[in-house]
Amino acid sequence: GDTISLPTGMFRGFTNIGDDSGFLWAVLGGDNPGRVTWAPAVFDMAADYGLVLLESGSLVDTAAGQSVPAGERPMPRTTPAQAAALRLPTAAEAETLVVRAGLDTAAVIGPDAPLAWPHGFTVDRVMVDGDGDRDLDLSGSVIFIHRGHLTIEVAEGQIDLAEGDTMTVPAAVGEHAVRGDAATVFRVRRG
């Protein structure tokens, strides 16, 4: 998968251009991820599914029986003027925010990566295909299995992960081995 980094204050709209299910996995940087600004039409689509965005940034699913908590208020509908104030990058600007898929092991976000401006974290794309890779250190990271399968072996046993799984690997995990079956793994670390 491609990796994108979108600065705050920018319009973000996503369309699945493939024939399979689209999937977006996000990492929020810094200590203040800001608030979601929904396009006016998104309020209508959300209402059709029973979703209510609150001023606090929380999402309530009324279709699942949830209700707006006492003291909370729904987010006011975004005005056309508010939507127009969001920065809309040109196609050329947007391309500078993307790292395309296809690299074996690569820093994607971080000081020595293509997306090098400060994020508060780093992201590496790692290809794992084989047994007992003790050189791949996953401690103190969050990993996302984009493709394939991954097995992490620790003294207490093993953890099997499949496509779409996310795992927080404690910093104190100790010695571990990683085996993969054509796995593409995104590793996120503080930094």
For 51-109, the pLDDT digits (tens) are: 999 998 889 999 999 999 999 999 999 998 998 888 888 999 989 999 888 765 589 99
Strands 121-133 and 106-109: antiparallel
Q: What is residue 105's predicted lDDT score, i.e. its pLDDT?
A: 57
Q: Which percentage of the chain shows pLDDT scores above 90?
A: 45
For the entire predicted model, the pTM comes to 0.78
pLDDT of residue 86: 87
The pair of structure tokens assigned to 9 is 């204050």
CA 18, 124, 183: angle at the middle one, nearest 5? 60
pLDDT at site 70: 96
Kindly list the domain boundaries of the chain, sorted by start residue: 102-190
Backbone angles phi, psi at 85, to 5 degrees: -75, -15
Cα separation, 162 vs 144, whole angstroms: 9
Architecture of domain 102-190: Sandwich (2.60)
